[in-house]
Structure 1
Amino acid sequence: MSSGAIEYKSGERNVNRDANVLETKTNSGITCVWSGKINDDYDVDFEWEFDWDELRSRGVFEITGFITVYSASGFFTAKKIDVKITEDNQEITKEVRGGYDSFNVYYEYSLTPHYALISEKRDYDKMFAPSDQNDTILIVDGKKLHVSKSFLSYHSEYFRALFSSNFKEGQMDEIPIGDVSYEDFALLLSTFYPTQEFPTDKTVEKLLEMARRFLVSSATRSAEHHLMNMSKINSEKMLWMADEYVMPKLLEKCIRGLNTEEKAKKLKQSEEYKKLSDSAKAKVLDRVFSQFF
Structure 2
Amino acid sequence: MMGEAIEFKSGTYLVNTAAGILDTRTKNGITCVWRGIVDQSGKLNCTWEFDWDKLERQGVDKLVGRIFVKSQTSPIYGSNFDVKITEENPEIKKQLGGGYNAYNVSYECSLIPHYENPSYDEMFEPSDKNDAILVVDGKKLHVSKAFLSYHSEYFRSLFSSNFKEGQMDEIPIGEVSYEDFALLLSTFYPNPVFPNDRTVETLLEMGRRFLVSSAVSSAEHHLISNSIIENEKMLWLADKHGMSKLLEKCVRRINTVEKAKKLKKSKEYKTLSDATKLKVYERLMNFI
Gaps of 5+ in 1: 1-26, 30-53, 61-111
Deviation at 1:114, TM superposition (A): 5.2
Q: Moved runs in structure 1, 4+ residues, more than 4 A?
A: none
Deviations 1:12-61 (A, max 9, x none): xxxxxxxxxxxxxxx955xxxxxxxxxxxxxxxxxxxxxxxx65x3258x
User: Of 186, 189, 193, which aligns to 2:189?
Assistant: 193
Q: 1:58 corresponds to which letter in structure 2?
A: G
Superposition pairs of residues 113-128 of structure 1, within 5 angstroms: 115-117=54-56, 118-119=58-59, 120-128=116-124
The answer to whether the 8 Å contact 1:137/1:174 transfers is: yes
Deviation at 1:235, TM superposition (A): 0.6
CA distance in 2, matches of 1:269, 1:202: 24
The answer to whether the 8 Å contact 1:208/1:220 transfers is: yes
More displaced, 248-257 or 155-164? 155-164
1:58 aligns with 2:58: no
1:227 aligns with 2:166: no
Secondary structure in structure 2 of the residue aligned to 1:223: helix
Deviation at 1:289, TM superposition (A): 1.1
1:138 aligns with 2:134: yes
Superposition pairs of residues 1-293 of structure 1, within 5 angstroms: 28=24, 55=27, 57-58=28-29, 115-117=54-56, 118-119=58-59, 120-290=116-286, 292-293=287-288
CA distance in 2, matches of 1:114, 1:174: 42
CA distance in 1, matches of 2:121, 2:55: 27
CA distance in 1, matches of 2:178, 2:53: 34
The answer to whether the 8 Å contact 1:59/1:232 transfers is: no
CA distance in 1, matches of 2:30, 2:228: 5
CA distance in 1, matches of 2:181, 2:134: 11
Deviation at 1:165, TM superposition (A): 1.4
Identity of matched residues, %: 66
CA distance 1:151–1:113, change in 2 (3 Å)? closer
How many aligned residue pairs are there?
Answer: 190
Gaps of 5+ in 2: 1-22, 32-50, 60-115
CA distance in 2, matches of 1:280, 1:194: 36
Q: Please provide the CA RMSD for this pair.
A: 1.7
The answer to whether the 8 Å contact 1:138/1:176 transfers is: yes
CA distance 1:113–1:189, change in 2 (3 Å)? closer
Could you state the TM-score of these two structures normalised by the residue count of structure 1?
0.62
Deviations 1:53-86 (A, max 9, x none): x65x3258xxxxxxxxxxxxxxxxxxxxxxxxxx
